[in-house]
Amino acid sequence: MDYKAAADFWLKKDKDAVKMPPDALAKELDAFLKEQKVCTLAAADGDFIRCTPLTYAYLDGKFYIFSEGGLKFRALEKNKNVALEVHAEYHGVGSAKSVQVTGVAEVIGADDRDFVARADAAGMNGASLKKMGLVLIVVTAERLEYLNSTLRERGYCPRQSLALS
């Protein structure tokens, strides 16, 4: 198996791909990410890997995720670099639409001083979430990799990438 060739497949294809203007891509990504509600968060530390489906709110390049707890925090304690995946429901060939996110997580416990303010800023009821003892995970996106099969119809490559940092 030639792992390097497999890993480089899309890098080679993307070199000559027709890209969307960054402002138009950012606007389309923003609308898509606000329309969806569920992401899959991947966190890892050494040989330990955890991939968890969670609900989120998206605002200004940040994903606001609440959690009761779980093994993902074992990885997040040691490694704040995470990946997220968000996708629309698949309806067959030509309907694929998803975003892969590379970012950095910040974990804010219900006992942290700015918990309520941070939750409220994301449009959530911080006081209520604090009473429930939830943990807030804020993922600041560094790169968004967008797949949208319908972009071909507009003359663009179906794979687009936007660096936010």
**Can you give the pLDDT at residue 3?**
93
Domain ranges of the chain: 3-163
pLDDT in tens, 73-116: 999 999 999 999 999 988 888 778 999 999 999 999 999 999 99
* Per-residue tokens: 144: 């968004």
* Per-residue tokens: 47: 């040989």
Residue 165 clears pLDDT 80, i.e. is over it: no
Architecture of domain 3-163: Roll (2.30)
**Can you give the pLDDT at residue 150?**
92
Name the DSSP class of 37. Answer: -
CB 99 within 8 A of CB 61: no
CB 29 within 8 A of CB 63: no
pTM: 0.92
